[in-house]
Amino acid sequence: MSVMYVGEGLVIEGSDLDNVAHIDLLIGPKDGPVGVAFANALASQTAGHTNLLAVVSPNIPAKPATVTVTKVTMKKSAQVMQMFGPAQAAVARAVVDSVVEGVLPKAEAENWVIVCGVFIAPSANDNKKIYKNNYEAVKLAIKNAIQKSPSIDEIIAKKDTPHPFE
């Protein structure tokens, strides 16, 4: 039986919507549906949606192997550089730190893959905040995915909570 973990993380500093981080991710075995999504994400590039492997530094990829998927069309070179720079570095380091901290099992680092949807607002303007917010959002999304959180009871209890973009 193939397993698929699904997680979400949103980090906003105060009212700074320009540098918000919103992560959606899938975690699972290479030979399951997440592995198929991972391969498709790397093989299916389109204009404005350049998916890339998350690397801690050049030639040092995250493990479990992680593909970052843009959740918004990249129209400006600055936005592309934010994705290739602070956003994907934050994703990679959050994945590796999640292994170090035992949230992701080290024994599965070669067997699992992660597909990580990353949102960078066209108005993003602070690389340090992009890094910090995406790092925190990825760690939260991974934790939520592995812990299957929130539970359906928590969701029902909070279903009328205002959304920050309403």
Q: Is 141 exposed, middle or buried (0-12, 13-18, 19+ CB in 10 A)?
A: buried
Domain ranges of the chain: 5-151
pLDDT reported for residue 1: 59
* Residue labelled with tokens 């981080």: 21
State the pLDDT at residue 68: 97
Residue 75's pLDDT is 86
**pLDDT digits 0-9 by tens, 59-80:** 999 999 999 999 999 888 888 9
- Please give the single-letter amino acid code of residue 45: Q
- Of 9, 22, 34, 124, which one is the catalytic site residue? 22
Structure token digits, residue 64: 């479990």
- Place domain 5-151 in its CATH homologous superfamily: Formaldehyde-activating enzyme (3.30.230.60)
Question: Are the C-beta atoms of residues 134 and 85 closer than 8 Å to each other?
Answer: no
pLDDT category of residue 48 using cuts at 50, 70 and 90: confident
In terms of C-beta density within 10 A (0-12 exposed, 13-18 middle, 19 or more buried), how is residue 94 classed?
buried
Whether 163 is a known active-site residue: answer: no
pLDDT exceeds cutoff 90 at 82? yes
- Predicted TM-score (pTM) of the model is 0.94
